[in-house]
Amino acid sequence: MTALLRRQALPLALLLALALVPVLGVQDGFSLGLLARAMILGIAATSLSLLVGGAGLASLGHAAALGIGAYAVATLDLLGITEGAVVFPAAILAAALYALLTGLVSLRTGGVHFIMITLAFGQMVYFATSSLSALGGDDGYTLYGRTEFLGARLLEGRLPFHYLCLGLAAATWLFCSMLLESRFGRVLRAAKEEPMRVRALGLSPYPYRLVAMTIAGALAGLAGALMANAMEFVSPAILSWPRSADLLFMVILGGVGHLHGALLGALALVLAEEVLSHLWDHWRLLFGPLLILAVIFLRGGLAGLPALLAQKLVQTLDRRAR
């Protein structure tokens, strides 16, 4: 139990810090909205981390599932359906179905071919949503209001929405962690490391990867439904390939081998965007070098930074002792 708590100390501390932010006096709409956006993207990035770290599948079309979840909310809003018990399951199921159908094709390949096929599917969905004139086409669609639950507008309050996003981010991390620690997760990770050995044991990696991709798509759909409510606006930009690249960047920056690293990466990216956008108009040019530096010097990403600093400290103390 002690070893488990030590291993999960960083993600628990991160979640606790996010829970205490409003308690410490940060309750203005802008700050809480920024954190809510970071946590929503953290949910999507965590679902992608399940694929990248757990199955070795780097998807460049993951934002399509995010966008499908958001467009499901917009479509139901257009039809006058705003009940959360209908809207959220519909968004999750629509994104899961997309991930399942595209996974049936893309998972028959691997490596660069998988990346390019997922990118192609994502672009297909992007152009399809751009042509939906009923939902605004390229201009996007503005929601009439946030999703309700039994007639109550629970998502309109800043604090309830903050803690809803936090709770779902924590639940996503916990669910994906338990999934990777289960027999299913062990087979998934073994197939990433030694696929031939898994086949020799009589197990086919394909169905395991397909289930993982479907689950990741469903979680991205959940994030999309939250994003639509957070912005009260949906446009094709939410599922473009640059958004998929941002999600992949969050996973790498946070640490591929750590699920909670995706949430760390999302928080770091969103906060960096906010700060740098006020300093330089071409701030996005900095993210390329930043990613390269993170890969070179932070092998474990931001999630592995405490262990790296502790190791450096021990080495320094050891040298001084000699």
Q: Which stretches of the chain are assigned E, i.e. beta strand?
A: 141-142, 233-234
Q: Which of 166, 178, 188 is nearest to 259 (CA)?
A: 178
Q: Which of 99, 30, 51, 105 is nearest to 247 (CA)?
A: 51
Q: Which of 233, 235, 228, 231 is nearest to 87 (CA)?
A: 228
Mean pLDDT score across all residues of the chain: 88
Distance between CA atoms of residues 72 and 278, nearest Å? 33
Predicted local confidence at residue 322, as pLDDT: 67
**What residues have CB less than 8 Å from 317, skipping those under 6 apart?**
none
- Per DSSP, the chain holds a count of helices (H) and strands (E) of 14, 2
Residue given tokens 């996974």 in the structure block:
103
CATH of domain 2-321: 1.10.3470
Longest dimension (CA), the chain: 74
Predicted local confidence at residue 1, as pLDDT: 47
Q: Give the residue extent of every domain in the chain.
A: 2-321
> Taking the model in full, what pTM does it have?
0.92
The residue that leads in pLDDT, 43 or 4, is 43
pLDDT tens digit string along 244-277?
988 998 998 888 878 888 999 999 889 888 888 8
pLDDT tens digit string along 72-101?
999 999 999 999 999 999 999 999 999 999
**What residues have CB less than 8 Å from 304, skipping those under 6 apart?**
255, 257, 258, 261, 298
